[in-house]
Amino acid sequence: MKALILDAQNQTANLCDIPQPTANDNEILVRVQAISLNPIDPLYVSHPLASSGRTIGSDFSGTIVSLGSFVPPGNNLKTGDRVAGFLQGACSVNERPGAFAEFLSVPWDLVWKVPDGVTTEEAAGVSLVALTAAQGIWYRLGLNAPFAYDKETVLEENPGWESSRIVRSNDPDVLNFFIYGASTSVALYAAQMVRLSAQASGKKIRLFGAASKARWELLKAEPYGYEHLVDYRDADWLEQVRELAGGKGMDYAYDCISEGDSVERVSATLGPNGKSAIVRSRAGGAWKADNLPVEPIYGAVWEGLGEEIQYQGFTVKKSVAAREFAVAFYKWLGEAAGNGLTPNPIRLMPRGLEKVVEDGFKLLGPGKMEDRGLGRTEEWMKPVSAEKLVYII
């Protein structure tokens, strides 16, 4: 089969012929039909953690070819079903294959069944970013989720989260929630999940966000429903948020960028008992802040795969609770996608695997937001905002 293989020495990936995988007893074999790009995909090709020879890439959707012998018969999966999920690829030191290939073997319970109302191309862009948002809003900050999962195991693994794991009993009936980077792929799901939490808890949640003015119309409309937006380019956006909130700080904040001074400024929006979550850790120098009012909650989306993740300089431990949460979330997502949770807009990119590095990685850039490549004139190479880049395989 064809796959995109990491060339660590030259900081690129090449389309190669490699053996087709077979499904282990607790796995399914998937014929990949579409893949979606995330900023981490080019990041860890340009700045390799893995050694050469690894299949790169995270998000995929496709069709089940076969099921392993230990896949439970009552799992609602069968050959021919459309499913979607994500793999870790080259985004750690660990030797694990990625998703940018024609066939994949994946754990049967870490995919979600794509419903009829969602296209295969749309599904390709959901799994990683939607789980990232769900982990931030429900698993880490603890707002009410529309599905059941084992909250006791979460607190056993993370005892320091207790004060932020639930919508606290002394919270007011109206909560303020701020999302920085509101038009990012993760944030588009996070806003919807905040709305679902409001429905589940019976509390009103006022949604505040920071994003480019060009995206305000989109963000104020359904299914996102922001009440208040500020332009992150404004030097005084923090003061604007405080004024819009009537002097009341945020009860919750989610920084979907977590770069430079964003964590410090987002933390400054919080009220006395406010809690925040972020998508990038201090490790590697993505952000620095010495005097935060409260330490933001961080966790890697890869925890949902239930494996230890090794980076250069730190290790994220294997988490039983995070994997159980991911399984419960994907089971719910198979019913909610397109019916309660709207997939992000997508941009279909021309050609297939052979153009991912040349076009897609150029658009997403090798690192921070300001590093994203521009200058190409083709329609599909316009700057990326509020959409996922998808390739048909």
pLDDT of amino acid 124: 98
pLDDT of amino acid 166: 45
Compute the distance between CA of residue 153 and CA of residue 171 in angstroms, rounded to an integer: 24
Compute the distance between CA of residue 107 and CA of residue 323 in angstroms, rounded to an integer: 11
Structure-token pair, residue 189: 């799901």
Nearest residue to 231 via CA among 187, 182, 278, 286: 182
Q: Which residues of 225-258 are buried (b: 16+ CB within 10 A; e: fewer)?
A: ebebbbebeeeebbebbbebbeeebbbbbbbbbb
Same domain, 51 and 118: yes
Identify the CATH number of the domain in which residue 213 sits. Answer: 3.40.50.720
Compute the distance between CA of residue 296 and CA of residue 317 in angstroms, rounded to an integer: 18
Same domain, 118 and 135: no
Is the CA virtual torsion 21, 130, 373, 314 positive or negative?
negative
pLDDT of amino acid 114: 98
Asked if the structure places residue 334 within a domain, the reply is no
For residue 191, give every residue at least 6 positions away whose Cβ sits within 8 Å of its Cβ, in sequence order, or none: 179, 182, 207, 209, 219, 223, 224, 225, 226
The stretches in the chain having pLDDT less than 50 are: 165-167, 169
Same domain, 149 and 295: yes
Query: Which range of residues forms the domain containing residue 264?
Result: 130-322
Same domain, 139 and 209: yes
pLDDT of amino acid 201: 85
Cβ atoms within 10 Å, residue 52 = 14
Asked if the structure places residue 332 within a domain, the reply is no
For residue 102, give every residue at least 6 positions away whose Cβ sits within 8 Å of its Cβ, in sequence order, or none: 1, 2, 3, 20, 31, 32, 393
pLDDT of amino acid 334: 96
Q: What three-state secondary structure class fits 391?
A: strand
Q: What three-state secondary structure class fits 31?
A: strand
Same domain, 90 and 196: no
pLDDT of amino acid 267: 94
Last residue of a domain, one of 322, 351, 376: 322
- 4 contacts 100 by C-beta, under 8 angstroms: yes
Nearest residue to 354 via CA among 116, 11, 8, 12: 12
Identify the CATH number of the domain in which residue 357 sits. Answer: 3.90.180.10
Same domain, 263 and 317: yes
Same domain, 66 and 197: no
Task: From residue 288, give the alpha-carbon distance in Å to each of 12, 207, 264, 265.
Answer: 29, 26, 8, 11
Nearest residue to 19 via CA among 144, 115, 103: 103
Same domain, 268 and 140: yes
pLDDT of amino acid 284: 66
pLDDT of amino acid 377: 86
Asked if the structure places residue 192 within a domain, the reply is yes
Compute the distance between CA of residue 264 and CA of residue 255 in angstroms, rounded to an integer: 10
Asked if the structure places residue 337 within a domain, the reply is no
298: DSSP letter:
E
Same domain, 119 and 163: no
**pTM beyond cutoff 0.85:** yes
pLDDT of amino acid 282: 80
Structural domains of the chain, count: 2
Compute the distance between CA of residue 39 and CA of residue 128 in angstroms, rounded to an integer: 11
pLDDT (tens digit per residue) in 30-54: 999 999 999 999 999 999 999 999 9
Is the CA virtual torsion 8, 14, 16, 22 positive or negative?
positive
Asked if the structure places residue 32 within a domain, the reply is yes
Same domain, 11 and 96: yes
pLDDT of amino acid 314: 83
- Which amino acid appears at position 236 of this protein? D
Q: Within its chain, how far is the Cα of 38 from the centroid?
A: 8
Compute the distance between CA of residue 290 and CA of residue 271 in angstroms, rounded to an integer: 18
Same domain, 30 and 81: yes
pLDDT (tens digit per residue) in 131-141: 999 999 999 99
Helix boundaries (H) for the chain: 40-46, 120-124, 127-134, 151-157, 185-201, 216-220, 237-244, 262-267, 320-336, 361-364
Nearest residue to 184 via CA among 250, 259, 241, 249: 259
